[in-house]
């Protein structure tokens, strides 16, 4: 009798438990299971700000340690799923991209393309290799006599302490910049970003040659093969001999190639992430550099400001010697901007959003009478602004207002917010 009662009680308990529904783990729980959840957004910087702060180290193959809490947030645009990127990921935000060097394989299992991350830079090093911005640790090659320190791969344990997964960031996606050439990109500002080259032909493709053979039939540079593109003198497609598509035959037809636009000194190195990044051209593709050019307009006065095209023309006319006269320029802000503690703004202006060639830089402009702009003041992408200042074609290739001469006159018809 007792045995029967115990059996009934056990059956009742089992049925009671089985009636409860099982809730799948939340997305937040999944994010918190990887990386260091104690990282906080106490001093978030844009990637462009980090590259600017460490510009000397990046440009001279040096490195420098980040010594105070500093975070970047971005979306992963390149991982090692296709084995063409080795022990590194590329992270991009609205302003730029950086290579993160990690001594770990299978990074795609935690930080796959499309995943947003926050990285704590304090204690890590920022530097460059071939002027490509990188984040890692200090490493000196023991096999080389008198070797100098360079950015090396951080251990998996160090990496685990310096990143965490975060939810999607508004406005960020893995959509590449789609172009027919890289002429409109800036090597310093745009290196590391995700791009898609449309309608290009791989030089020497004959229906037999593969991307990256390891049989000695192609020159290897760092375990990779660089393939030239017809008509592009400073662009190569870079493929590792370990890439999963290394032995695929190069198409003889025109192709679209998506990849990380890394740099080695003055050469663009397009690194496809997987075989899917190489596809035949359909001929119907629209690109970001298809934006029609706008004719110069305006006289440069307060009543009749130059448009961007006219401002560029004036800068090209005056050259590297700044104008004595103050000119007014009207244009659209090409990217969101937030005024920092320096209380000025550097805005890239265009005549039409999406334009990649005709750009004018309002460099470190302030408010009227030289007053600082309010820290935290936000200027949205697409805002119509008017700036004034002396004009110059800086180093012969950057049309801009002369430093400390520029004024942000208005934003969408309103005076900008000034510091108190």
> Domains plus CATH for the chain?
28-165 (2.40.50), 177-280 (2.40.50), 308-411 (2.40.50.140)
The per-residue pLDDT for range 41-65, each reduced to its tens digit, is 999 999 999 999 999 999 999 999 9
Q: What is the pLDDT, as a whole number, of residue 4?
A: 53
Q: Is the pTM of this model over 0.75?
A: no
- Enumerate residues 6+ apart whose C-beta is below 8 A from 311: 300, 327, 329, 331, 349, 360, 391, 399
Q: For residues 180 and 200, what is the distance between their CA atoms, to the nearest angstrom? A: 8
Please provide the distance, in angstroms rounded to a whole number, between the alpha carbons at the two ends of the chain: 86
Helix %, strand %, coil % of the chain (to 5):
15, 35, 50
Q: What is the pLDDT, as a whole number, of residue 21?
A: 47
Q: For residues 129 and 151, what is the distance between their CA atoms, to the nearest angstrom? A: 8
User: What mean pLDDT do residues 245-258 have?
Assistant: 98
For residue 212, CA distances in Å to 79, 201, 234, 280 come to 19, 17, 19, 19
Q: For residues 318 and 396, what is the distance between their CA atoms, to the nearest angstrom? A: 10
Q: What is the pLDDT, as a whole number, of residue 15?
A: 47
Phi and psi based region of residue 319 (left: phi greater than 0; alpha: psi -120 to 50; beta: remaining): left
Give kind and range of the element (H or E) at residue 13: helix 2-18
More confident site: 32 or 381: 381
The per-residue pLDDT for range 272-289, each reduced to its tens digit, is 999 999 999 998 888 887
Q: For residues 301 and 251, what is the distance between their CA atoms, to the nearest angstrom? A: 54
User: What mean pLDDT do residues 158-182 have?
Assistant: 95
Please report which confidence band the pLDDT of residue 5 belongs to, taking 50, 70 and 90 as the band edges: low
Q: For residues 135 and 139, what is the distance between their CA atoms, to the nearest angstrom? A: 12
For the beta sheet containing 345-350, the strands, ordered from the edge strand earlier in sequence to the opposite edge, are 391-394, 398-401, 360-365, 345-350, 327-333, 384-389, 407-411
Mean pLDDT in the chain? 92
Q: Where are the beta strands (DSSP E) in 93-202?
A: 97-103, 116-120, 125-129, 132-139, 150-152, 154-155, 163-166, 177-179, 194-200
- Give the angle subtended at the CA of 28 by the CAs of 24 and 29, to the nearest 5°: 60
Entry field: residues in the chain: 420
The per-residue pLDDT for range 338-361, each reduced to its tens digit, is 999 999 999 999 998 877 678 999
Six-digit token string for 211:
């991307």
The per-residue pLDDT for range 193-227, each reduced to its tens digit, is 999 999 999 999 999 999 999 999 999 999 999 99
The per-residue pLDDT for range 109-157, each reduced to its tens digit, is 999 999 999 999 999 999 999 999 999 999 999 988 888 999 999 999 9
User: What mean pLDDT do residues 299-303 have?
Assistant: 97
């Amino acid at each position: 009798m007792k045995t029967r009662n115990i059996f009934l009680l056990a059956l009742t308990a089992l049925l009671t438990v089985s009636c409860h529904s099982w809730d799948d783990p939340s997305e937040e729980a999944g994010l918190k299971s990887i990386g260091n959840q104690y990282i906080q957004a106490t001093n978030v910087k844009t990637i462009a700000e980090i590259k600017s702060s460490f510009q000397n180290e990046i440009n001279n193959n040096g490195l420098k340690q980040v010594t105070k809490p500093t975070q970047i947030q971005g979306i992963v645009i390149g991982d090692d799923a296709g084995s063409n990127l080795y022990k590194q990921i590329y992270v991009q935000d609205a302003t730029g991209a950086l290579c993160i060097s990690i001594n770990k394989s299978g990074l795609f299992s935690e930080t796959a393309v499309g995943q947003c991350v926050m990285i704590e830079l304090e204690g890590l090093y920022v530097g460059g290799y071939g002027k490509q911005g990188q984040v890692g640790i200090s490493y000196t090659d023991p096999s080389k006599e008198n070797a100098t320190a360079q950015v090396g791969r951080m251990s998996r344990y160090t990496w685990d302490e310096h990143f965490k997964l975060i939810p999607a960031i508004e406005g960020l996606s893995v959509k590449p910049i789609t172009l027919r050439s890289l002429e409109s990109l800036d090597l310093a500002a745009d290196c590391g970003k995700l791009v898609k080259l449309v309608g290009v032909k791989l030089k020497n493709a004959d229906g037999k040659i593969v991307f990256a053979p390891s049989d000695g039939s192609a020159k290897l540079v760092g375990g990779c093969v660089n393939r030239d593109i017809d008509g592009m003198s400073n662009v190569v497609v870079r493929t590792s001999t370990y890439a999963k598509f290394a032995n695929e035959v190069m198409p003889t037809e025109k192709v679209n190639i998506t990849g990380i636009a890394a740099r080695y000194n003055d050469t663009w190195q397009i690194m496809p992430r997987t075989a899917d990044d190489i596809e035949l051209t359909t001929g119907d593709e629209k690109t970001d550099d298809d934006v029609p050019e706008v004719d110069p307009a305006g006289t440069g006065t307060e009543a009749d400001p130059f448009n961007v095209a006219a401002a560029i023309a004036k800068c090209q006319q005056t050259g590297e010697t700044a104008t004595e006269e103050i000119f007014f320029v009207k244009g659209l802000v090409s990217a969101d901007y937030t005024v920092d503690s320096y209380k000025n703004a550097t805005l890239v202006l265009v005549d039409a959003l999406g334009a990649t060639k005709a750009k004018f830089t309002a460099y470190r402009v302030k408010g009227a009478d030289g007053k600082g702009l309010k820290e935290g003041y936000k200027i949205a992408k697409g805002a119509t602004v008017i700036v004034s200042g002396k004009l110059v074609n800086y180093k012969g290739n950057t049309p801009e207002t002369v430093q400390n001469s520029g004024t942000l006159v208005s934003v969408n018809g309103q005076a900008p917010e000034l510091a108190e």
